[in-house]
Structure 1
Amino acid sequence: MVKLIALYRHPEDQESFDKHYEQVHTPLVEKMPGLKKLEVTRIQGAPMGGEAKYYLEAAMYFADRAALDAAMSSPEGKASAKDLMGFAGSLVTMMIGEVSREG
């Protein structure tokens, strides 16, 4: 299994960010073909206290790299990417990881 990871830095307007993320972006992501699971984590802080560098983490799970690549190339994947760049392009760092151990 592989996952596409999105790490978001703190937005200036958290309320506006959250509203767009939940009402517009998440429904677009959920339409991506082959998506097995979407996991969204709101970062609470750093282990030693204080504010964490990131505000939110999203992990999108796919069966394998081919499924992820197909999803990203699909009309739904392109719509999700376009939306992401429009509302959070300057805030997001994207990575791909291979899940080597679950639960």
Structure 2
Amino acid sequence: MYRLTIQYRTPADPEAFDTRYFEQHVPLCRPLPGLRAASFSKPRILGDGTAPYLVAEFDFDDAVALKSALRSPEMAVVAKDAEALPAERVMFTAEIVGG
């Protein structure tokens, strides 16, 4: 399984961000081709450091499915909308491995 993860920094107006994110942006993500699961969390830091405000995770069966989704017209719509979100973000992909 492969995962696309997006970490958002704390926005200036968290309530407005949440409304925009969950009511407008997340529905655009749902039709991504090959999307198996999506989850969203608001981490709380344990100890020193800074946690992201929000973490979004999108799971795909394999690298081919993830690459296909990243190149899809649906992702182009998601990416365009993401540019207007009022929070900085970091994105990365990873293979999910057992331990």
1: CA distance, partners of 2:98 / 2:13: 36
TM-score by structure 1 length?
A: 0.88
Compute the displacement of 1:40 (Å).
0.5
Aligned pairs, how many? Answer: 99
Normalised by the size of structure 2, how large is the TM-score? Answer: 0.91
Deviations, residues 69-98 of structure 1 (Å, cap 9, x unaligned): 11111111110111111214x510000010
Q: Does 1:5 align with 2:2?
A: no
Structure 2: 5+ residue stretches without partners: none
Identity %: 32
Deviation at 1:47, TM superposition (A): 1.0
Match of 2:93 in 1: 96
User: Which residue number in structure 2 is paired with residue 43 of structure 1?
Assistant: 43
Give how far 1:58 is off. 0.7
User: Structure 1 runs of 4+ off > 2 angstroms?
Assistant: none
Q: Which runs of 5+ in 1 are unaligned?
A: none
Q: RMSD in angstroms over aligned alpha carbons? A: 1.7
Aligned to 1:34: 34
